[in-house]
Amino acid sequence: MGLYRRPTDLDEAMAALAESPMTVLAGGTDFYPARVGRPVAEDILDVTALAPLRGIAEAGDHIRIGATTRWSELLAAPLPPWFDGLKLAAREVGGVQIQNAGTIAGNLCNASPAADGVPPLIALDAAVELASRRGWRVLPLAAFITGNRRTARGADELVTAVLVPKPRHPARAGFAKLGARQYLVISIVMAAAVLEVEGGQVAAARIAVGACSPAARRLPDLEAALIGRACAPGLGRVVSPALLTPLSPIDDVRGTADYRRDAAVTLVARLLDDLAGGGA
Ligand SMILES: Cc1cc2nc3c(=O)[nH]c(=O)nc-3n(C[C@H](O)[C@H](O)[C@H](O)COP(=O)(O)OP(=O)(O)OC[C@H]3O[C@@H](n4cnc5c(N)ncnc54)[C@H](O)[C@@H]3O)c2cc1C
């Protein structure tokens, strides 16, 4: 049986992590299922009593989402429309009980290729704030998640927040998930998009697809092809398999690579059509 610590002070938490290896615990919804049937032997650092890791706040040119913000708290928060994609994803993270316990940083640190929070946050150009005794640093989310269940987090670092920059133009955002059934399901493919629109035209586009590569990927060729297009119904027709090149889906129990590639084209096209159908 290992140690269990639940500090209320961030310095104390960072000191504990600097001293010896500890497993960070937030909502436990990824942690516990990974340990079913065996005692928890490692030392645990529970971060849920750390006030600086809580809450959602506007901070100059970005919105700061505390690491231990739960999915249900995110859903209830009054956020601008460019968070609509992340909110749609929040609604898809398990059922309500999971959304009441699971945190945003837990989803990112677990770094599952099928983590629903990752594509919408990559499409929002989010960054991850990390703190340790050695200092603070901020990494783009796309650089933080380095592969299937791998991140750039040092063993002595805590994720303290997710930082989402404000878009330069009015923006709209969406998220779509394909699973074997409608709810309570691990994604076969999911897609998130943020479109910045000026004068009826796409001024900036950020599209990310999850569950089709070890970590969710943005689609730079598709994003470039969307710039300057009228943000109007039919926008999804721009999507073609050739524009989804960074994706490298695999065959697994949930679907074949070919199915995933095909589904990604359809999902992204529908998402763009839905977003282009609304008013700027
Ligand atoms: C029944 C069920 C259904 C689910 N459905 C979905 C789903 O549909 N979509 C989906 O994406 N996920 C799903 N999940 C997974 C999970 O709920 C989410 O990934 C959730 O956001 C994890 O957050 P948590 O706070 O519970 O993480 P925890 O389990 O507490 O931690 C997860 C990992 O992150 C690390 N960690 C947590 N916080 C920090 C921090 N601040 N700093 C450093 N490291 C940290 C932990 O050490 C651990 O490695 C499901 C889980 C269950 C049990």
Q: Give the Å distance between the CA of 186 and the centre of ligand 1.
A: 13
**What confidence score (pLDDT) does residue 209 get?**
96
List average pLDDT for each run of 10 residues in the chain, which is 280 residues long.
94 97 97 92 97 96 98 98 97 95 98 94 98 98 96 98 97 92 81 97 97 93 98 95 90 86 95 79
33 lines ligand 1 (CB under 6 A): yes
The closest-lying atom of ligand 1 relative to the alpha carbon of residue 116 is 11
Q: Give the Å distance between the CA of 97 and the centre of ligand 1.
A: 13
**What confidence score (pLDDT) does residue 280 get?**
39
156 lines ligand 1 (CB under 6 A): no
Residue 226: CB atoms within 10 Å: 25
Residue 138: CB atoms within 10 Å: 12
107 lines ligand 1 (CB under 6 A): yes
48 lines ligand 1 (CB under 6 A): no
**What confidence score (pLDDT) does residue 278 get?**
47
Looking at ligand 1, which residue's alpha carbon is closest to its atom 28? 28
**DSSP codes joined into one string, the chain:** ---EE--SSHHHHHHHHHHS--EEESS-TTTTGGGTTS---S-EEE-TT-GGG--EEEETTEEEEETT-BHHHHHHS---GGGHHHHHHHTTSSSHHHHHH-BHHHHHHHT-TT-TTHHHHHHTT-EEEEEETTEEEEEEHHHHEEETTEES--TT-EEEEEEEEPPSS-EEEEEEEE-SSSSS---SEEEEEEEEEETTEEEEEEEEEESSSSS-EE-HHHHHHHTTSB-STTGGGG--GGGGTT-----BTTB-HHHHHHHHHHHHHHHHHHHHHS--
**What confidence score (pLDDT) does residue 186 get?**
81
Q: Give the Å distance between the CA of 23 and the centre of ligand 1.
A: 13
**What confidence score (pLDDT) does residue 141 get?**
98
Distances from the Cα of 235 to the Cα of 43, 80, 89, 198, 221, angstroms:
51, 23, 22, 15, 15
**What confidence score (pLDDT) does residue 8 get?**
98
**What confidence score (pLDDT) does residue 102 get?**
98
The answer to whether the predicted template modeling score (pTM) of the entire model surpasses 0.75 is yes
**What confidence score (pLDDT) does residue 245 get?**
87
Looking at ligand 1, which residue's alpha carbon is closest to its atom 5? 94
215 lines ligand 1 (CB under 6 A): no
The closest-lying atom of ligand 1 relative to the alpha carbon of residue 53 is 41
Q: Give the Å distance between the CA of 47 and the centre of ligand 1.
A: 13
93 lines ligand 1 (CB under 6 A): yes
Q: Give the Å distance between the CA of 103 and the centre of ligand 1.
A: 6
Q: Are 62 and 166 in contact (CB under 8 A)?
A: yes
Burial status of residue 250 (CB atoms within 10 A of its CB: 0-12, 13-18, 19 or more): middle
The closest-lying atom of ligand 1 relative to the alpha carbon of residue 159 is 42
Looking at ligand 1, which residue's alpha carbon is closest to its atom 1? 94
